[in-house]
Every structure is written in structure tokens, then in C-alpha cells.
Amino acid sequence: MIKKILVVLVVLLSAKAMAQRNNSSPYSFFGIGEEFHPKTAEQAAMGGIGVAFGANNYINFINPAANANLRYATYSFGGLVNRLTLNEPDASQTGTSTSLQYVALGFPIGKKAGASFGIQPLTSVGYSLTSQLLGTEGEVLSATKFQGAGGTNRLYASFGVQVFKGLSLGLETGFIFGTIDNSILNQRDDVHLASKHKQVAVIRGSAHKLGLQYQTILKGDLTLHAGATVRLENTMKATGNELLYSLSFGSAGTEVPRDTILNIDITGKITDPIQTIVGLGLGKSNKWYLGANYESKNALKSQGYLIEEGTAYAYGKSNRFSVGGFYIPKMNSIASYWDRVTYRAGLRLEKTGLLVDGTGTATDFTSIDDFGISFGLGLPLGKKLSNLNLGLAYGKKGTTENQLIQEEYFNVRLSLSLNDLWFQKRRID
């Protein structure tokens, strides 16, 4: 058992490097990047539901109270391949990115409690946008390149306990860390040197969540599930450096810095308000489940670090509605492997809280909304409860109105959930 723990710790410590990821979304330009809602591949395949549901062999990233249901030590890690098409009124382009989404370990503590810990990305910055100013005859007068990379991660630990039959409470705490690099490079036709404005900020903070789950058995072996979480308001601090300098280009296109015009320290903070998630579900144990989640929070606030709301964007209230579930034809089937497969599906409607003005006048902000549908399979491995989970999702984010860009995405999620028994007394025959 000690060997297993050490292996998992090594994976978690090395996951910081693996959690660096690529992101081709232009909306990651704003604030501290595009937000990832913490969820497993299984939860994502069901539209992101899970606040009310707990299982004995699956980790739940949404509600820490679900840890009380764990009866097996569970190692879980998942990745994402995202194919993104950016649509404008008269053009479109497509790109693909890959990322590691999480590495986690969960385990039972006695018969009425459990815990989990892990690492996963929280926000991602990854854009490269170019604009040109043309003359009367179509010649390029100047070109500007906007580029960003990095993001934030969260290292978390959570605990859940059953306080009496049917009712579980949970607590989660997390440490947020990461680095964000934004730059603007401008080259004019009649100027020998280009100029670059660059910001590198280190983000640090913490977040804490409370959770509750309740289950009761109805007639016909049906189980009613209810759950809720409250993530408390948290503040992330940003410290770093801001540079403005001239540069030239080498023979291989490499940048050669010349004169530094500005070099100052930057500070700021981002306040993420209270977030609440509530959900209900109905199902039959090891057979089927159907549930719905509703998530809401007030507008994100920021100051300093030059990420304050300006003429291009603002923050508003965000909310998300998800519905989904799973179906298992016959969990203990011997005759058919496909009868033991878990089939999942879900739907999601979201207002991200980001408001963007494509005209730059600060008078015509458009809400960036997101819609997605998802499907998935939980493929049993061997005779144990371990599973290989595959999820597919299609969706659209944003709009082509108001001089904006609409994202059309198709992603594939793959995760491995390995289960084992810990702290089991040996039997002597």
C-alpha cells in the first residue's frame, strides 16, 4: 500500500509540468483565461452533472460530500483532445489542441467517510491573433500580433463524511497557482524596429468549498438524490513584470531585443465571488440515473495588472444549466460485454459571464454563451470495477454578431479509473 501511495505522489508532483496545455480559443485573451469547470470525463459526458450523485468507485470533482460514498481506492486521470473551428462572417479556421485534464486519487476512510486529492487546470490562456492595417492600394501599413500562453492550475484536497443515514457533508480546499504571459507585437512598414509590450504575471490564491448530499429510497427501488455546494469567495493575487521595448528580427525570424522603454513591476488581484450549485436526480442503483444541475455566481472583479474591465470587455453574472444521466443494461452480465458498459449522455446551456464589445466603443456588449451536447461510454476493464471512459462533445460558443467570433468545437475526452481495495484485513483459510 505504501508503494501505491508513493507512486501516486510522484504522479501528482510531476503533473505541474504536464498540466501546461495548448488552447486556441480567442476568448482566452480576456482576464486570466478561459475557465475549466472541474469535472471528470464521466461527469462531462453527462453534461457536467454530479452535484447530487455519488458512487463507490468514482471520484466526484463537483461535490466533496460525494467522498463519503467511496468504498474503493480510486486512481483517476483524464485527457482532452479539442478540435476548434473559429467562424467569422466571411472566414473560418480550424485547429486542434490537447491537454491533461486531471490526475487524482480517492480512497475510503472507514465505512462512512472518504477523501480525495489531485491536480487539474483551472484556467487556460492560449491565443495568437494577427491584425493588419491596409493602405488604399491594399499594401500593409502595419501588422499587430496578439499572443498569450499559460494559465492557472489548482491543487486540491477534499473530505466527505456521512453524518447520518442518507445525509453526507463535505469540505474541499485548494491552492491556485500559475503563470500568464501576454504580449502585443507591432511592426510598421516605414519603421526599422518593431515594438513589443509584454506582461508576465504569477497568479497565486486559494479556494474553499462546502458540500451536501442527501439520498432516500422511494417505492420500486428508486432513489431520490439531492445535492448542493457553495464555493466561498476567493481572491487570487497577481505579481509580475511589464515590459515595453523595441526589437529587430534575426535571419531565422528570432526576436532580438534592442532598447527597453518601460520595465516596471505589476500587481493586482482577481476576486471570484461565491458560486452555488444545486441539483436533483432520480435513479436505480447500478442501472440508471437522470439528474439536473443549476450553477450561478455574480460577476468576477479585478483590479490592477491591467486586466481590469475596459472598452473591449466586462464581466456579468454567469449561470449554467446541465441535464444528463447514464444507463447500464445489466451490470453483472456474463453473456454480453456491452450489457456491462455504462452509456452516458447530457446537455448543457451556459452564460459564461464574459461580455465583449466587438466595436471597441464600450457601448454594445454581447454575452458570450455556450451550448453543448455530450455522449460517453464507460468500458469495464477485467473483472474489477476499473473503467476506461470515453466521452464525445459538440458545442458552440459565442456569436458572429457584433464583429465577434463564434467557436464551434468537437472534443474527445479519455480517462482511466482504476479501483482497488485498501485497508482490507487478510483472511486465513
Mean residue pLDDT of the chain comes to 87
pLDDT higher at 312 or 397: 397
Rounded to an integer, the average pLDDT of 311-339 is 91
**Mean pLDDT highest for which of 2-11, 79-88, 298-307, 344-353?**
344-353
Check residue 330 and give its pLDDT.
93
- Confidence class for position 157, pLDDT limits 50, 70, 90: very high
**CA terminus-to-terminus distance, the chain:** 22
Q: What is the per-residue pLDDT for 425?
A: 52
113 pLDDT more than 90: yes
CA–CA distances in Å: residue 63 to residues 44, 60, 107, 212 = 14, 6, 15, 7
CB burial string 225-253: b at 16+ within 10 A, e below: bbbbbebeebebbbbbebbbbbbeeeeee
Q: Residue 311 has what pLDDT?
A: 63
User: For position 133, what pLDDT does the model report?
Assistant: 82
Nearest to 245 by CA among 224, 229, 269, 261: 261
User: 244-258 pLDDT, tens per residue?
Assistant: 999 988 877 788 888
At residue 325, the pLDDT reads 97
Q: Give mean pLDDT, residues 206-221.
A: 94
pLDDT digits (tens, 9 = 90+) for 48-74: 999 999 998 899 999 999 999 999 999
Q: What is the pLDDT of residues 217-229, one digit of tens each?
A: 998 889 999 999 9
pLDDT at 289 over 90: yes
pLDDT score of 230 more than 50: yes
Are 347 and 370 in contact by the 8 Å Cβ rule? The answer is no
pTM, two decimals, is 0.87
Strand bridging mode 194-217 / 255-272: unpaired
